[in-house]
C-alpha cells in the first residue's frame, strides 16, 4: 500500500493548491465509547483544521481556490443554507486571497444574524438570500449572480454547493492519505470509517482514496441531506470523475450510504442527534452540531448499541460545523 499512497500523494501535488488548513489534524481514541462498548473507536478531528473557524471544507477549498487563482479569478460565487459551513469557509478563503465572495444563502433572510451568518458578514462576503429550501433554487440563483458579475467584467469562479466537484473532492483524497498515515502512527488498522455525508464530496474523496490505495476497510456515509439511493448515485458519479483525474477507477459497491438518521430533513434537529451531541460533549468534551456530525454520531451510537460494529476498529470523522450551535432558530 505504501507505494500506492506515495504515487497518489505525488499525483495530487500536480493539482494547483493554496494552503489553508493546519494539517495533519489530530486523530485519537474516544475512550468512553471504546470502553463502554468494547469497540475501538477513534475520532479524526477535522473540526480542528484551524482556518476560518475550522471544518472539513477547508480541505476542498485548498484545491478549489488553487484552481481559481490559476484561472486569474477575482470573484467567487457559491451557495448553501443560511448556516452553511462551506459558505463561511469560502468567505474566509476569498478574503485572504483577495477575491470578493458572493454567497447565495437559501432559507430566506433571518431577522437576526447568528452562527455562521455572523462570520460570513465579518469576513466581508456579499450575501444574496433566496427564500427557498430547495437546493436547485439556490444553484439557479448562484448561476444568475455569476452572470450578473460577468456582465460587469468580473472573472468569476463559481463553486457548486459544498464544493462537491472533482477538484474539490481531491481535498478528501488527500485527507484519506492522511488517515492512512494516522493508522501507521497509532499502530493499528481501521476497519470502518463513519462520517456525515451531505453534498457527497467528502465521501467521494474517501472512496477514491480507498480504491486507489487498495485499503480494504468500509466507508459508511451517513446521509444528512437526501435519500440513500440518490446520494449514493451522486457520490459514485463524483468518485468516478475524480478517480479518472487520478488515473484510477471505482466500483459501485464501494459507495455505501445509510439514510435512517436524517429525521424530517436537512438541517432539522433530531432527538437522536441531540442525545449523541450530549454524549460527546459530556463524556469527551467534543462538540458536535445538529446538521452534520450530530446525525452521523447518532448512527455511530445506534450501531454500537446494536453490536453492528463488534470487533471492529472504527474511525469517526468529525467534519466540524460547531458554529451552528450559536445559530438562532427562526
Per-residue pLDDT reduced to its tens digit, 11-57:
999 999 999 999 999 999 999 999 999 999 999 999 999 999 999 99
58 belongs to the catalytic site: no
C-alpha neighbours within 13 Å on the C-beta side of residue 308: 13
Asked if pLDDT for residue 2 goes beyond 90, the answer is no
Nearest partner of 5 among 138, 182, 188, judged by Cα: 182
Strands of 40-45's sheet in order across:
27-29, 40-45, 313-318, 192-197, 218-223, 256-258
Please, which pLDDT band fits residue 263 given cuts at 50, 70 and 90?
A: very high
The predicted structure's pLDDT at residue 330: 54
The residues near 45 (Cβ < 8 Å, ≥ 6 apart) are 25, 26, 27, 28, 318
The predicted structure's pLDDT at residue 1: 82
Cβ(20)–Cβ(93) under 8 Å?
Answer: yes
The predicted structure's pLDDT at residue 183: 97
Give per-residue pLDDT as tens, 210-226: 999 999 999 999 999 99
Give per-residue pLDDT as tens, 286-325: 999 999 999 999 999 999 999 999 999 999 999 999 999 9
Kindly state the percentage of the chain with pLDDT values over 70.
99
Cβ(25)–Cβ(49) under 8 Å?
Answer: yes
Q: End-to-end distance of the chain based on CA atoms, in angstroms?
A: 50
Asked if pLDDT for residue 329 goes beyond 80, the answer is no
Asked if pLDDT for residue 251 goes beyond 80, the answer is yes
Give per-residue pLDDT as tens, 135-150: 999 999 999 999 999 9
Domains of the chain, earliest start first: 2-55+165-321 (3.40.50.1100), 74-154 (3.40.50.1100)
Give per-residue pLDDT as tens, 161-197: 999 999 999 999 999 999 999 999 999 999 999 999 9
Give per-residue pLDDT as tens, 95-105: 999 999 999 99
The whole-chain average pLDDT of the chain stands at: 97
Give per-residue pLDDT as tens, 87-128: 999 999 999 999 999 999 998 899 999 999 999 999 999 999
C-alpha cell at 216: 480494504
Cβ(127)–Cβ(201) under 8 Å?
Answer: no
pTM for the model stands at: 0.96
**Which one of the listed residues 84, 164, 174, 197 is annotated catalytic?**
84
What's the CA gap between 185 and 24, in Å, rounded? 12
Amino acid at each position: 500500500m505504501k507505494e500506492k499512497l506515495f504515487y497518489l500523494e505525488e499525483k495530487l501535488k500536480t493539482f494547483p493548491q493554496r494552503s489553508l488548513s493546519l494539517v495533519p489534524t489530530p486523530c485519537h481514541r474516544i475512550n468512553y465509547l471504546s470502553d463502554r462498548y468494547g469497540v475501538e473507536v477513534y475520532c479524526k478531528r477535522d473540526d480542528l483544521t484551524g482556518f476560518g473557524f475550522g471544518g472539513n471544507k477547508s480541505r476542498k477549498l485548498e484545491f478549489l481556490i488553487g484552481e481559481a487563482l490559476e484561472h486569474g479569478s477575482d470573484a467567487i460565487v457559491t451557495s448553501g443554507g443560511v448556516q452553511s459551513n462551506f459558505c463561511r469557509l469560502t468567505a474566509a478563503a476569498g478574503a485572504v486571497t483577495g477575491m470578493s465572495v458572493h454567497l447565495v444563502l437559501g432559507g430566506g433572510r433571518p431577522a437576526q444574524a447568528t452562527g455562521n451568518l455572523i462570520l460570513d458578514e465579518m469576513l466581508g462576503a456579499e450575501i444574496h438570500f433566496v427564500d427557498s429550501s430547495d437546493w436547485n433554487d439556490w444553484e439557479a440563483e448562484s448561476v444568475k449572480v455569476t452572470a450578473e458579475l460577468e456582465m460587469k467584467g468580473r472573472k468569476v469562479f463559481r463553486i457548486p454547493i459544498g464544493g462537491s466537484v472533482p477538484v474539490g473532492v481531491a481535498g478528501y483524497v488527500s485527507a484519506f492519505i492522511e488517515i492512512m498515515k494516522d493508522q501507521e502512527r497509532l499502530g493499528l488498522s481501521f476497519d470502518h470509517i463513519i462520517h456525515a455525508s451531505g453534498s457527497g464530496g467528502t465521501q467521494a474523496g474517501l472512496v477514491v482514496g480507498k480504491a486507489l490505495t487498495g485499503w480494504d476497510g468500509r466507508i459508511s456515509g451517513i446521509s444528512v441531506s437526501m435519500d440513500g439511493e440518490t446520494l449514493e448515485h451522486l457520490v459514485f458519479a463524483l468518485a468516478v470523475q475524480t478517480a479518472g483525474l487520478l488515473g484510477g477507477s471505482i466500483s459501485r459497491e464501494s459507495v455505501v450510504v445509510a439514510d435512517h438518521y436524517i429525521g424530517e430533513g436537512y438541517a432539522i434537529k433530531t432527538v437522536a442527534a441531540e442525545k449523541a451531541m450530549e454524549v460527546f460533549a459530556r463524556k469527551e468534551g467534543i462538540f458536535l452540531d445538529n446538521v452534520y456530525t450530530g446525525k452521523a454520531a447518532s448512527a455511530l451510537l445506534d450501531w454500537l448499541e446494536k453490536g453492528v460494529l463488534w470487533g471492529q476498529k472504527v474511525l469517526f470523522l468529525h467534519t466540524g460545523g460547531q458554529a451552528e450551535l450559536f445559530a438562532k432558530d427562526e
